[in-house]
A and B are shown apart, each in its own frame.
Chain A
Amino acid sequence: MRLEIREISKNFGPLKANDHITFTFEGGLIYAILGENGAGKSTLMKILSGYQSASSGQILIDGKPVLINSPHHAIAHGIGMLYQDPLDFAPLTVLENYIEGKPFTFLMHRREAEADLSTRCKTLGFSLNPNAMVESLTVGERQQLEIVRLLSLGVRILILDEPTTGISAEQKSQLFQTLKNLAREQNMIVILVSHKLADVEELCDEVLVLRRGKLVGHQILPCQTETLVQMMFGKRLSKTSTQSLHTDKPVLKIYRFSVAARLFTIHNINLEVREGEVIGLAGLDGSGQVQFMRSIAGLGRPTWADQLTGIIALVGMWWVFGEILDESSAVLNLARIAILILVLGPMFKSLYPFIRRRSNPYPPEITLNGQTIGWRGYRDLLERGVAYLAAGRLEEGLVAGLTLVDHAALADRGSLPHVNWLRAWRRTKQAITDFAIKGRPFSQIQTLSGGNQQRVSLSLLPANLRLILLENPTRGLDVESAGHIWSLLLNRRKQGTAIIFSSPDLDEIIDYSDRILVFSSGQTTLVENPEQMTTTRLGELIGGKS
């Protein structure tokens, strides 16, 4: 197996995203493509996987030139790509996803497909339940499904884009073992796109480094980490200072708190967070860290107003129907009853947590600065100094299609009914300077890089916050951008702001946390001294070893 790229260039107007890249990938080896955000890695991988065509250059497989115009073409030539968020169909089962993309037949041939899936899973050491819904799987399991699916389509060149983002250490080591087996035993070419140097050093045989669209380095591993960093950034990077700044004054107190996660329900969580403290949440994907933070922030848990309006709506609807029910035909009455059930069913459901809480003799307590916040919603809590930044920046945080100035105007809490565009524009200019955002005031937010989007999110947070909750704050960012985000966050601690964050990156949790709350098999364990913790020990705690 041999993949050659010759003089591949991709131009977007005056910008050269890829500039005459030439390289040969040999079968049986695992390659890493490294580069800071915007170096041209993803563009090159998109060209190989058929999502984009090159402006010029040639791709050859086993010496034969091939034309790749679409992902379908790429797969036909044996090139498949696994994305950071696997491109699967969440509401379908594992088996149905496995069947998708196969050559069309009128019938699905489920039995044959199931047998094929089981055999492939056994060979690779995966355990996937064919009848499980994909939405119930962890990111790691979804990646396994996608790998099996791509292999069943005859893929011989496997490209993986940030595959270790969002999976646990255990899942990562299983994935790496699988990739090594595929390369060594089946002579496949595996190409890894990643920002994580530790992953690259652990898995790969050779490294290609891109900078500003050009191939600037090729290194055979192992080598010094500093060599790779210098190739990527052209300079040495200093580590962000993580000196502890917390006081003994508690900001947030949580007692007898329960969280229902995808894998487990965790009962009786108790935690006190102090001013200026950073708490890292560690655990397998789906173990409840995110749900825990969302509940604290008032997202997705029922509030008093929910229950009250539900009851009023129920009584009102029932009264209206009761008034006219007797006057019409039986068919119409049946139709009305059906609508009643369909429309009001969800309202009944929303009343359940309320009833459950009322029947609990020891209800949970969450207090912020001594005030109970158990039934308050996110907006209310934001005004009280609690902010939440989700991992999906464009899904939950920023509005694609709006400019930076629009965002500044939205975050402006002025009292006048009209938008003060001049103030918003000035605020944006200030934020661009203060937060080192690489963008312009009238740039649409989706055109910014992930790191810059995260900086915009941080710039939009109100001043004097008491608590910031963050899901995977450096998701998809290179070392330099991640370091900058953390320096901005840690600056907030000087004003007494406490930080709670979750991350799949155990190094990040150990490096930045004052204490770590580990979520494992429906239990939580508080680690008081992260400086004495190693990733291996933390991985063991996550895995349930005490």
Chain B
Amino acid sequence: MTAFRKLFVQTSSRTALGIFPLLVGTLVALGAIFLILNNENVEPRAVYDLIYERTLSLPDNRANVVDFWLPILLCCCGLLLTFTAGLWNIGIEGQITMGAVGATSIALFVELPRNEQIFTELFMAGAAGGAWALFTGIMRTRGGVNEIFGGVAMNFLASNFSAYLLVAPWSPPNATGSATVRFPDNALLPSMDTYRLSPITIYIALSAFIFVLLTLSGSRWGLQLRAMGKNEKSAQMLGIPTERNIWLAMLMCGIMAGLAGGHLVLFRRANLPANVSGGIGFLSLLVVLLASIRVRWVPFVSFAFALLYSAGLPLRTRLQLDSSLIGVFLGILVFCVLIFDGARQRLQAIVEQRKLLADAGGEKSPPPPTIEIQIGQEASGGPSSS
């Protein structure tokens, strides 16, 4: 029981340490944003009121924010798996794009009964996104190409491929190549009666989040991913199928990103536009970084991002502020939180070192390799352990 109580105390202190950078970083970022607004002669209160009015005050606005949030949440869920495994899946933008292309290929050229049509479109979206991510994973394990470089190459390829489709085979007659024709109503995801929200996407996003939460908190596969993220070579020597896990994590992430892409074209846009992802992949990368790869925080952080992004357009029209200022605000927020996360890591290292010393009576070793050898023995033979 003592061991479990100790584990609980350790977990609580880790959580407290984890919240610290988010809180302090947000406060500092708000201060910086206040100064910027002051410089623009805009009352911060007016901005806050406007953001509230255009995002949370009316049901339709709230639905709009949720609609913006769902694909981000899906992408974040996928990224949580790859980041835990130590895979920096920067190619998520390409996976969203290919998911959208996959869904479009069915929406434009296949006609089935409604349910089968939507199932096939979403299946194709997931399959295309998954295949795109899986290929990056294969390049990583078989070709020795780092997933960051592979991801950048695949992003480039995906955006060019979708641009080519819009210019040539999928271009509507007499069009400039900026988007395909509107999909038939039969091909679009159904909406709720009261709000413009897709229940299917809500189910998918929530299921994805629960799946990732359970996987990373209590499953054997989640533990394997965690070990791989810390040391892939050691994980391999412990008999963990590292290659299969890399492929699987990339595939799962690609499927979720592809479904997010599918949602964009099958619900929000009702066609395939150029630059379909609109940067939500990169936004998701920021969210997961900001949440320091902690599953429980991701829905809240991603919702805050979605909320701020949704308020960009009204800022320009009502307050004559450039809508890109929202991007600047988010940048400041990420910057501040990351800085304070660095401080947290130092603090955590000190706290853990002290805890280990108190627990085992040893000293945690800095760089020279032999020191570590000495410490544990001291720990076990030292006064505190007796």
Shortest Cβ distance from A305 into chain B, in angstroms?
A: 8
Closest to A450 in B: B373
Q: A42-B371, A43-B374 are in contact. Are A406 and B168 (CB under 8 A)?
A: no
Q: Is the CB of A410 within 8 A of B240?
A: yes
Q: How far is the CA of A16 from the CA of B160 in the complex (A)?
A: 64
Q: Is the CB of A442 within 8 A of B374?
A: no
Shortest Cβ distance from A336 into chain B, in angstroms?
A: 8
Q: Is the CB of A38 within 8 A of B3?
A: no
Q: Is the CB of A313 within 8 A of B135?
A: yes
Q: A401-B230, A419-B223 are in contact. Are A447 and B364 (CB under 8 A)?
A: yes
Closest to A395 in B: B233
Most chain A beta-carbon neighbours within 10 Å: one of B221, B359, B367, B374: B374
Q: Is the CB of A161 within 8 A of B370?
A: yes
Q: Out of B142, B143, B230, B376, which one reaches A449, CB within 8 Å? A: B376
Q: Out of A41, A327, A407, A452, which one reaches B376, CB within 8 Å? A: A452
Q: How far is the CA of A386 from the CA of B217 in the complex (A)?
A: 31
Leading 9 A-B pairs by shortest Cβ distance:
A38-B377, A438-B380, A450-B373, A449-B376, A449-B377, A38-B378, A448-B376, A37-B377, A13-B357
Q: A399-B235, A411-B239, A447-B356 are in contact. Are A313 and B139 (CB under 8 A)?
A: yes
Q: Does A505 contact B (CB under 8 A)?
A: no
Q: Is the CB of A339 within 8 A of B153?
A: yes
Q: How far is the CA of A453 from the CA of B380 in the complex (A)?
A: 13
Q: Is the CB of B374 within 8 A of A390?
A: no
Q: A15-B383, A447-B376 are in contact. Are A418 and B160 (CB under 8 A)?
A: no
Q: Does A476 contact B (CB under 8 A)?
A: yes
Q: Is the CB of B360 within 8 A of A449?
A: no
Contact mask for chain A residues 299-319; partner B; CB cutoff 8 A; 1 contact, 0 none? 000000010011001001000
Q: How far is the CA of A43 from the CA of B337 in the complex (A)?
A: 36
Q: How far is the CA of A425 from the CA of B359 in the complex (A)?
A: 18
Q: How many A-B residue pairs have CB under 8 A?
A: 249
Chain B residue contacts of A452, Cβ below 8 A: 376-377, 380
Q: Is the CB of B374 within 8 A of A449?
A: yes
Chain B residue contacts of A414, Cβ below 8 A: 220
8 Å CB interface, A21-60 against B: 36-43, 46, 51-52
Q: Out of A40, A52, A400, which one reaches B374, CB within 8 Å? A: A40
Q: A328-B164, A379-B236 are in contact. List 8 more A-B contacts (CB 8 A).
A: A37-B373, A38-B378, A39-B378, A51-B366, A346-B143, A400-B230, A411-B238, A438-B380
B interface secondary structure, majority: helix
11 contacts between A and B (CB under 8 A): A193-B370, A328-B160, A342-B153, A346-B144, A399-B235, A406-B223, A418-B220, A438-B380, A439-B360, A449-B376, A450-B370
Q: A313-B139, A347-B143, A397-B234 are in contact. Are A39 and B239 (CB under 8 A)?
A: no
Q: Is the CB of B370 within 8 A of A84?
A: yes
Shortest Cβ distance from B49 into chain A, in angstroms?
A: 46
Q: Is the CB of B238 within 8 A of A410?
A: yes
Q: How far is the CA of A328 from the CA of B150 in the complex (A)?
A: 22
Contact mask for chain B residues 358-386; partner A; CB cutoff 8 A; 1 contact, 0 none? 11111111111111111111111111100
Chain A residue contacts of B300, Cβ below 8 A: none
Q: Is the CB of B369 within 8 A of A396?
A: no
Q: A13-B361, A51-B366, A442-B3 are in contact. Are A46 and B354 (CB under 8 A)?
A: no
Q: How far is the CA of A38 from the CA of B164 in the complex (A)?
A: 66
Q: Is the CB of B139 within 8 A of A382?
A: no
Q: Is the CB of A38 within 8 A of B143?
A: no
Shortest Cβ distance from A401 into chain B, in angstroms?
A: 5
Shortest Cβ distance from A444 into chain B, in angstroms?
A: 7
Q: Does A162 contact B (CB under 8 A)?
A: yes
Shortest Cβ distance from B19 into chain A, in angstroms?
A: 21
Q: Is the CB of A476 within 8 A of B373?
A: yes
Q: Is the CB of B369 within 8 A of A83?
A: yes
Q: Does B241 contact A (CB under 8 A)?
A: yes
Q: Does A451 contact B (CB under 8 A)?
A: yes
Q: Does A402 contact B (CB under 8 A)?
A: yes
Q: Is the CB of A419 within 8 A of B220?
A: yes
Q: A83-B369, A343-B145, A346-B144 are in contact. Are A451 and B377 (CB under 8 A)?
A: yes
Closest to B239 in A: A382
Shortest Cβ distance from B235 into chain A, in angstroms?
A: 7
Chain A residue contacts of B237, Cβ below 8 A: 378, 388-390, 396-397
Chain A residue contacts of B227, Cβ below 8 A: 399, 402, 406, 410
Shortest Cβ distance from B139 into chain A, in angstroms?
A: 6
Q: A16-B383, A310-B142 are in contact. Are A36 and B377 (CB under 8 A)?
A: yes
| A residues in contact (CB < 8 Å) with B | 12-17, 36-43, 46, 51-52, 83-85, 87, 161-162, 193, 212-213, 306, 309-310, 313, 316, 320, 324, 327-328, 332, 336, 339, 342-344, 346-347, 350, 378-379, 382-383, 388-390, 394-402, 406-407, 409-414, 416-419, 425, 438-444, 446-453, 460, 462, 476-477
Q: Is the CB of B372 within 8 A of A446?
A: yes
Closest to A317 in B: B135
Chain A residue contacts of B380, Cβ below 8 A: 38, 438-439, 449, 452
Shortest Cβ distance from B228 into chain A, in angstroms?
A: 9
Q: Out of A344, A406, A410, A443, which one reaches B360, CB within 8 Å? A: A443
Q: How far is the CA of A88 from the CA of B362 in the complex (A)?
A: 28
Chain B residue contacts of A83, Cβ below 8 A: 368-370
Shortest Cβ distance from B386 into chain A, in angstroms?
A: 10
Chain B residue contacts of A383, Cβ below 8 A: 239
Q: How far is the CA of A394 from the CA of B161 in the complex (A)?
A: 44
Shortest Cβ distance from B211 into chain A, in angstroms?
A: 12
Q: How far is the CA of A383 from the CA of B380 in the complex (A)?
A: 34
Q: Out of B143, B218, B368, B369, which one reaches A46, CB within 8 Å? A: B368
Q: Is the CB of A440 within 8 A of B360?
A: yes
Q: Is the CB of B143 within 8 A of A40?
A: no
Q: Is the CB of B368 within 8 A of A42?
A: yes
Chain A residue contacts of B220, Cβ below 8 A: 409, 412, 414, 416-419
Chain A residue contacts of B354, Cβ below 8 A: 13
Q: Does B54 contact A (CB under 8 A)?
A: no
Q: Does B226 contact A (CB under 8 A)?
A: yes
Chain B residue contacts of A416, Cβ below 8 A: 220
Q: Does B6 contact A (CB under 8 A)?
A: yes
Closest to A213 in B: B378
Chain B residue contacts of A213, Cβ below 8 A: 378
Q: Is the CB of A15 within 8 A of B164?
A: no
Contact mask for chain B residues 200-220; partner A; CB cutoff 8 A; 1 contact, 0 none? 000000000000000000111
8 Å CB interface, B337-360 against A: 354, 356-360
Q: A339-B153, A411-B239 are in contact. Are A14 and B383 (CB under 8 A)?
A: yes
Q: Does B58 contact A (CB under 8 A)?
A: no
Closest to A414 in B: B220
Chain A residue contacts of B234, Cβ below 8 A: 394-399
Q: How far is the CA of A447 from the CA of B226 in the complex (A)?
A: 19
Q: Is the CB of B223 within 8 A of A460?
A: no
Q: How far is the CA of A328 from the CA of B167 in the complex (A)?
A: 11
Q: How far is the CA of A14 from the CA of B3 in the complex (A)?
A: 21
Q: Does B16 contact A (CB under 8 A)?
A: no
8 Å CB interface, B120-152 against A: 135, 138-139, 142-145, 149-150
Q: A378-B236, A419-B220 are in contact. Are A346 and B145 (CB under 8 A)?
A: yes
